[in-house]
Amino acid sequence: MGEDFDVPPAKRPRHIAAIMDGNGRWALRRGLPRIEGHRRGVEAVRRTVRECGRLGVQQLTLFCFSSENWKRPSEELQFLMQLLEHYMIEERPELQNSNIRLSVIGRREGLPTGAVRAIEETIQLTSRNTGLHLCLAINYGARQEIADAVRRIAQEVQAGRLQPERIDENTISQYLYTAGMPEPDLLIRTAGEMRLSNFLLWQSSYAELWVTERCWPEFDEALLRQAIRDYAARRRRFGGLLPEEMDCSEQRTTSP
């Protein structure tokens, strides 16, 4: 897959996550209503999903709607929920034809009934697909996710099914919304913002961050490929040393 790409498959990220920021700003700079930015943002989602599939990315996780986004104007929220439901129904043929499996993380509470029904039906429809795993974070907040995990772990301890001394990092990961998913290798953020905004805080501990000044509606295949190139050029240490650095360290230690 992606034979025309200059990054070998072994050096490409397995899991890409993206904070899709700047839809409203993109629209306002052009004298358009904010909702037009969201509509154009869906087109960027389509481009990104297709290109990730072509490049052999295993999972793409998109931050679609934060649990803090309910503070936005009611007209914008109504449009976003309608857009969500429409996307879930409209994209089913594309997801099926491209062998894409959909999942959604976040709380269903608070979402309109129609949107929830469309989400669940699309998840079920694509559940047997074996290609790209598309995970959408909707009504999601990472602190909320961790709090929910701690609550469930506490219930397991209270019921006697889990011993406190057996709780470790792996235990916590198993109770997160993302249980069973690989952690992100590459985290992309658009619109130049330099923060995680309560997105995958636990899972992104060792993700490589890549930020572009472009707003999400401008995000395209070329930018995605550039992000992957930059990722492939980085040296991931995970808190340790690379082999060549280890050798240098030992030489300094043993030299007179």
Q: Are strands 133-140 and 186-189 parallel, antiparallel or unpaired?
A: unpaired
Mean pLDDT, range 90-108, rounded to an integer? 98
Query: Which residues are known to be catalytic?
Result: 21, 69
Distance CA 176, CA 171 (A): 9
Cα–Cα separations (whole angstroms), residue 127 to 54, 104, 124, 134, 207: 20, 12, 5, 11, 27
Residue 251 banded pLDDT, cuts 50, 70, 90: low
What is residue 224's predicted lDDT score, i.e. its pLDDT? Answer: 98
- Give the end-to-end CA distance of the chain in Å, rounded to a whole number: 52
Cα–Cα separations (whole angstroms), residue 90 to 82, 196, 223: 12, 30, 26
pLDDT in tens, 113-155: 999 999 999 999 999 999 999 999 999 999 999 999 999 999 9
Percentage of residues in the chain with pLDDT exceeding 90? 90
Find out if CATH 3.40.1180.10 is the number for domain 11-141+182-254.
yes
What is residue 245's predicted lDDT score, i.e. its pLDDT? Answer: 61
241 pLDDT higher than 70: no
pLDDT in tens, 29-85: 999 999 999 999 999 999 999 999 999 999 999 999 999 999 999 999 999 999 999
Measuring CA to CA, which residue among 47, 17, 25, 70 is closest to residue 182? 17
24 pLDDT higher than 70: yes
Q: Is 209 helix (H, G, I), strand (E, B) or coil?
A: strand
Query: How many residues appear in the chain?
Result: 256
Beta strand residue intervals within 9-130, DSSP E: 15-19, 59-66, 101-105
Look over the chain and give the mean of its residue pLDDT values, rounded to a whole number.
94
Single pTM value for the model: 0.91
What is residue 236's predicted lDDT score, i.e. its pLDDT? Answer: 80
